[in-house]
Amino acid sequence: MNRTIIAAFALTFILIAGCTKDSPGNGTASVTQDIPNQVAIDETSRLASLIGQQTATPADFNNLAAMLSDNEHALDELGEIVTLVKYGEYEHVSHAIAFFDGYLRTGSELLCPAHALSHYYVFKKHGEDDLAEEALEEAEEQMPEWIPKAREYDQKYPSGQNFEEVVRRISADIENIESGNTTASDDEISFLTDEASICVEA
């Protein structure tokens, strides 16, 4: 078992909780056709444990996919997670499953363009061009709404990062990709995954 992955996984859950702690309805969402029931949340927790142990396989997610068959957004997110598992990208899977768990519990989607961009590079590396383009489109669409909300959030709960520099680097990555540079250094992907992932509710 990789202790670094497990530690990162635990930290991600803490960070996701912090991203939504200002939300009045956090953790109290009622069960609707858009928000899965407790059984799906429990199944997600079971899968998160397998991810933390790096033993998850794509087939492990079949039951959860069946539970979420009427929730298009959840299925899209789950599809990305399964693809990351397929390629053994456990660091990125641990972040993604934490976001997913938060969505199931609250019904709220997060704006996190840096997270989407990090997935762009990972999907591109593995030849998953369609998923890569979807991740890029998500990042581009989120930026206008994310910037003011994330700036306000970072002022209230300082991340320790220079927020304007974070915005500059995310924007530069988007510009680089659109110019044909579809790869990034491990350091840049790590920056997008960790320091730049200031996530706020949509």
Contacts of 73 (CB under 8 A, 6+ apart): 34, 103, 109
pLDDT-derived band at 133, boundaries 50, 70, 90: very high
Q: Provide mean pLDDT across the span 67-82.
A: 94
- Predicted pLDDT of residue 34: 52
User: Can you give the residue range of the structural domain that contains 23?
Assistant: 3-106
* This prediction's pTM: 0.81
Q: Are residues 162 and 71 in the same domain?
A: no
pLDDT for residue 36 is more than 90: no
Mean pLDDT across the chain, nearest whole number?
86
Domain boundary (86, 106, 126) is at 106
Of 73, 106, 139, the residue at which a domain comes to its end is 106
The answer to whether residue 24 scores a pLDDT higher than 80 is no
What DSSP character marks residue 200? Answer: E
Give the domain-ending residue among 81, 106, 131.
106
Q: From CA 58, how far away is CA 80, in angstroms rounded?
A: 11
Evaluate if residue 111 carries a pLDDT over 80.
yes
What percent of the chain stands above pLDDT 90? 78
Q: Is 157 found in the same domain as 79?
A: no
